[in-house]
């Protein structure tokens, strides 16, 4: 197999798509912070399509790696060796997969190694948009108070070293400060994470960090920097070592950093880019004045359903999402949850009917070609639950609606934190935001104690006797029978 770099683009194996533009003429107009698999299967794909149009060559991507760990260092080295190129393989539910080489990432900087270079590149006047995918839990917002945590160790460190920041907040703030002093127009900050009002959340975080540096700087950012919100959607599994071999066998390319995804893709963006933007509407991106209805639907239907299926899936012994979806108990839970607990509480824009979206979501989850992992869905649940479920839980309880499926989900979460499935197999819950006190609550003899975990405490669920009874009852049933038999009992309950 041949490797992948610029010199190999003219001799790719038959059937592999390649960039429809001269990469040598492309310059970076967008800097993206934290170049993960999702960004490479989503935003970078839209930009790759856009670069093929006349007059769009100034909208290439400068990738900036943020996280310093062995896998991120390996990815940085791979993307550098491959000139930013990588293969994307798309797997539809039926039919053959297709593969192409994505070329929109035209430069890459690994900030942990050279923060000064990353900062300097963000000050380039050609960079007019700084986008980011730093995960739902990456915005350093306290779940209870809603405030940016200035006392977080990484934030304290960045405030003490403004010329060598390590966080996205430090990098963005320092770059904006330099651009202001140099008379360079500010860039637009575009959050592409699964958060309600993600633009507003990003703005809150940046203004709080900047205010700790200088209130004058914070005021200037508030008056001059745009923070549009957007909704992003594409199921992009983690790439395991065996996936690398499988994907490279499919493409015939020795790619060190391949990605794969489903064929569905959607991006809805608030159209507020004072410094300009690429013509993304020409390649399928939806621009709107109000993203909120779209993001509410996606977060409360797709993302919350991911959590609803992942606990019975993983604890029930299913490794892959499509395996869990083939279990009629899990499929029944999801359909009932969406029909009774979610859809009645939502309002939909005309181009996104809820019943049709429900059917699309369930079909996407069941796609056997994706091999999405339940472990990916459950990872960092501590950050995901408040984002994806809090509004549904709050509205159900305030309206006196049926809360049983939500109580079952949280009982499943509590059991998942124990790290053992119903087949006796151990797994490691990936919960980087779960504090020691919260871990103690997860194993507390009091069966209601997990409701006091910090990220759940603001919902005050332990003050609702009916919810507590349901939660405790489902915890006992899961412990006594196993999560899937307990689910079958739930589905058989009247009403």
CB 321 within 8 A of CB 374: yes
Please choose, from the candidates 359, 45, 427, 389, the residue with its C-alpha nearest in 3D space to the C-alpha of residue 196: 389
What is the pLDDT, as a whole number, of residue 480?
97
3-class DSSP state for residue 237? Answer: coil
Q: What is the pLDDT of residues 292-317, one digit of tens each?
A: 999 999 999 999 999 999 999 999 99
What is the pLDDT, as a whole number, of residue 455?
82
pTM of structure: 0.91
CB 63 within 8 A of CB 105: yes
CB 74 within 8 A of CB 95: no
Q: How far is residue 59's CA from residue 29's CA, in Å, rounded to a whole number? A: 4
CB 98 within 8 A of CB 17: yes
Longest dimension (CA), the chain: 68
Q: What is the DSSP letter of 393?
A: H
Low-confidence ranges of the chain (pLDDT < 50): none
Q: How far is residue 339's CA from residue 187's CA, in Å, rounded to a whole number? A: 42
Exposed/middle/buried for 448, CB within 10 Å: 0-12, 13-18, 19+?
middle
CB 401 within 8 A of CB 341: yes
Q: Got the DSSP string for 305-355?
A: HHHHHHHHHHHTT--BHHHHHTSHHHHHHHHHIIIIIIGGG----TTS-HH
CATH number of 6-288: 3.40.50.720
What is the pLDDT, as a whole number, of residue 441?
95
Please choose, from the candidates 282, 275, 285, 283, the residue with its C-alpha nearest in 3D space to the C-alpha of residue 58: 275
CB 233 within 8 A of CB 295: no
What CATH number matches the domain at 292-492, 1.10.600.10, 1.10.1040.10, 3.40.190.10, 1.10.1060.10? Answer: 1.10.1040.10
Q: What is the DSSP letter of 60?
A: E
CB 150 within 8 A of CB 89: no
What is the domain partition of the chain in residue ranges?
6-288, 292-492
3-class DSSP state for residue 383? Answer: helix
**Domains 6-288 and 292-492 fall in the same CATH topology:** no
Exposed/middle/buried for 168, CB within 10 Å: 0-12, 13-18, 19+?
buried
Strands 266-270 and 98-102: unpaired
Centre a 10 Å sphere on the Cβ of residue 143 and count the other Cβ atoms it contains. Answer: 19
Q: Got the DSSP string for 459-486?
A: TTGGG-HHHHHHHHHHHHHHHHH-HHHH
């Amino acid at each position: 197999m041949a490797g992948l770099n610029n010199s190999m683009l003219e001799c790719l194996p038959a059937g592999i798509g390649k960039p429809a533009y001269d990469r040598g003429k492309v310059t970076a107009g967008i800097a993206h912070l934290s170049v993960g698999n999702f960004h490479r299967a989503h935003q970078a794909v839209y930009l790759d399509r856009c670069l093929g149009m006349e007059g769009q060559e100034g909208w290439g991507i400068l990738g900036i790696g943020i996280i310093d760990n062995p896998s991120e260092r390996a990815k940085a080295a791979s993307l550098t060796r491959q000139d930013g190129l990588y293969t994307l393989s798309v797997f539809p539910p039926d039919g053959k997969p297709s593969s192409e080489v994505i070329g929109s990432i035209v430069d890459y900087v690994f900030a942990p190694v050279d923060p000064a270079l990353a900062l300097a590149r963000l000050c380039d006047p050609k960079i007019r948009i700084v986008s980011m995918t730093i995960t739902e839990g990456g915005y350093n917002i306290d779940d209870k108070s809603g405030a940016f945590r200035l006392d977080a160790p990484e934030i304290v460190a960045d405030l003490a070293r403004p010329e060598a920041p390590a966080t996205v907040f430090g990098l963005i703030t320092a770059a904006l400060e330099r651009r202001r002093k140099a008379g360079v127009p500010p860039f637009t900050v575009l959050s592409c994470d699964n958060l309600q009002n993600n633009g507003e959340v990003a703005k809150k975080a940046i203004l709080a960090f900047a205010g700790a540096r200088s209130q004058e700087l914070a005021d200037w950012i508030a008056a001059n920097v745009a923070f549009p919100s957007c909704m992003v959607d594409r199921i992009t599994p983690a790439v395991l070592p065996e996936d690398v071999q499988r994907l490279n066998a499919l493409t015939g390319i020795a790619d060190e950093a391949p990605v794969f995804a489903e064929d569905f893709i959607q991006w809805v963006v608030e159209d507020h880019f004072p410094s300009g933007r690429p013509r993304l509407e020409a390649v399928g991106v939806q621009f709107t004045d109000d993203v909120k209805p779209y993001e509410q639907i996606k977060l409360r239907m797709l993302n919350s359903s991911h959590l609803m299926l992942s606990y019975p899936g993983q604890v029930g012994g299913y490794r892959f999402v499509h395996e869990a979806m083939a279990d009629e108990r899990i499929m029944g839970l999801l359909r009932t949850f969406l029909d009774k607990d979610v859809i009645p509480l939502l309002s939909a824009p005309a181009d996104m009917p809820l019943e049709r979206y429900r059917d699309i979501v369930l079909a996407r989850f069941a796609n056997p070609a994706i091999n999405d992992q339940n472990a990916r869905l459950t990872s960092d649940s501590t950050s995901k639950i408040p984002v994806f479920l809090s509004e549904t839980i709050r509205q159900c309880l305030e309206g006196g609606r049926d809360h049983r499926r939500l109580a079952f989900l949280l009982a499943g979460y509590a059991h998942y934190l124990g790290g053992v499935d119903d087949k006796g197999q151990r797994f490691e819950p990936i919960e980087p935001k779960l504090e020691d006190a919260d871990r103690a609550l997860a194993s507390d003899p009091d069966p209601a104690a997990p409701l006091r975990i910090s990220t759940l405490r603001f919902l005050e669920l332990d003050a609702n006797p009916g919810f507590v009874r349901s939660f405790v009852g489902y915890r006992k049933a899961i412990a006594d029978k196993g999560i899937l038999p307990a689910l079958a009992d739930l589905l058989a309950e009247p009403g």
